[in-house]
A and B are shown apart, each in its own frame.
Chain A
Amino acid sequence: MKILVVDDDELIRELLVEILTAHGYEDVTQAESGEDGLEKIQAAAQPFDCFMFDIQMPGKDGIELCGDVRNMVQYKDTPVVMITAMNNQDYIGRAFSAGATDYVTKPFDTTELITRIRLADRLQAETKRASQAAVTAQAKPKPPFSEPIAITEIRGFVNSAILENYVLINLEQKHFPLAAVAINIPELSAVHAGSGEGEFTYVLTDIAEVLADLLCGAQAFMSYVGNGTFLCVGNRHKIPATSEMQSDLIVMLNDPDLVYCDEVQTSFTALVGEKSAPKLFEKREDLRFLNRALESLSEAGAANPGARTKKLGDRLGVPFAA
């Protein structure tokens, strides 16, 4: 971590360098005044990762310097630890108003000082990580509504490829009789159109949790396949009846404690297709019953599950149902 220490007292600067160096912070630059500090900041080839400014200095004081730093785009989030005497609480308030992130008091307690610097170090690392994530997220366009999204951390939710494996293994080993049911939430189209990718994923995750609760006990595995549609595969005898699922879902989806959408005001409905099971004459690797589950959504009134069916068939490598 590259640190700039600004203090008009040479001995204080040297003391800070000794303490920081002994604790592994060896890249420390010193400045003897606010003006000198500003020059060193502007001339730095590599930006500083942390600043330590004495609050009370002749000329440009630490608070003014902190304000200058905060006006520089590259330093808007960089930790600024103010150095102050214990009886300067009023200065501390002004320092925080100017954008300081923390302060240490003179005379220095080494342990306290290093705790503050380590905190600043972590803060800087977190800020860098978050900024990088934000840049990556901005660079990546929002996926179209028709695209599947992998939902993680919800019991039973897997991506489409894993769902396919799950089905193939069950068909092969005949653990229990399988059935698939597709569920479409029409309002997800408006949520997708009116929100960012993050918010859309949050809403999908909330709905996934509702579905996991609804199908609890059905040995179900589920996947979001795009176009507002979830595909669920589980024990044919334990998946609830379509009408029962539909009414329960509407109640649960409109409970703001279960599904919360901040950016788009909407109430949710649900279209639940008929349960679809493999037919006797179909081969074990034949996954057409999944397509039939999706197609039954059309009969239930879903606007566009057909396109999804074709894509799913393509990905699963099986012939479409006639």
Chain B
Amino acid sequence: MTHGVGAAGAATLESGIARIRERFILGLEDREDEFLDYLEIVDDPAQSENAINSIRAKAHKLHGLAGTVGFARLGSLAAQLEHHIDLLLAGPRPLEVGFAKELLNALLDEIETILNSE
């Protein structure tokens, strides 16, 4: 993780990442709430497309960050959701969002697990 830096640099980097990790955890509840908001409307044909795009954008961000700050499983679940939505959006309409919801629920479960353990 800290390859190529001296002891002082490694310590600074570790503490920097720890700070970011802490802020990431603090923001997880907000992320969870946003996902839940979209989950409520994703079945509505009038809002489904927008909701699924928003879920994808949120999952994309989570995918990028979670693994780096030590939450590999959360990052992986976010990546699966993002990838599935990409396939979904490239397919026919109306969107069949059933499996996307299952993946999102698994993601939300993982967020809950993290929030309960931290």
Q: Measuring CB to CB, which residues of chain A are less than 8 angstroms from any residue of chain B?
A: 9, 11-12, 14-15, 18-19, 21-24, 56, 58, 83, 85-87, 106-108, 110-111, 114
**Given known contacts A18-B16, A18-B17, A110-B1, is B65 in contact with A9 (CB within 8 Å)?**
yes
Which residues of B, 40-73, contact A by the 8 Å Cβ criterion?
A: 57, 60-61, 63-69, 72
**Closest chain A residue to B78 by CB distance?**
A85
Q: Contact partner of B20 among A18, A24, A85, A111, CB < 8 A?
A: A18
Chain B contacts of A107 at CB under 8 A?
A: 63-68, 72, 75
Number of interface residues of B (CB under 8 A): 31
**Closest chain B residue to A9 by CB distance?**
B61
Are A106 and B65 in contact (CB-based, < 8 A)? yes
**Closest chain B residue to A114 by CB distance?**
B4
Closest Cβ of chain A to B57, distance in Å, is 8
Chain A contacts of B89 at CB under 8 A?
A: none
A-B contact pairs, 16 of them (CB 8 A): A11-B20, A11-B24, A12-B61, A12-B64, A15-B17, A15-B68, A18-B20, A22-B5, A22-B13, A58-B57, A85-B60, A85-B63, A85-B79, A107-B63, A107-B64, A107-B72
Q: Measuring CB to CB, which residues of chain B are less than 8 angstroms from any residue of chain A?
A: 1-5, 9-10, 12-13, 16-17, 20, 23-24, 27, 57, 60-61, 63-69, 72, 75, 79, 82-83, 86
Chain A contacts of B10 at CB under 8 A?
A: 22
Chain B contacts of A9 at CB under 8 A?
A: 61, 64-65
Are B23 and A11 in contact (CB-based, < 8 A)? yes
**Closest chain A residue to B66 by CB distance?**
A107
**Closest chain A residue to B80 by CB distance?**
A87
Complex Cα spacing A87 to B9, Å? 31
Are A111 and B3 in contact (CB-based, < 8 A)? yes
**Chain B binding surface, main DSSP class:** helix
Q: Contact partner of B60 among A18, A23, A56, CB < 8 A?
A: A56
Chain B contacts of A58 at CB under 8 A?
A: 57
Are A111 and B83 in contact (CB-based, < 8 A)? no
**Closest chain B residue to A118 by CB distance?**
B4
Q: Contact partner of B2 among A14, A22, A85, A86, CB < 8 A?
A: A22
**Closest chain A residue to B59 by CB distance?**
A85
Complex Cα spacing A167 to B1, Å? 64
Q: Contact partner of A87 among B4, B13, B72, B79, CB < 8 A?
A: B79
Are B79 and A86 in contact (CB-based, < 8 A)? yes
Q: Contact partner of A111 among B4, B27, B64, B79, CB < 8 A?
A: B4
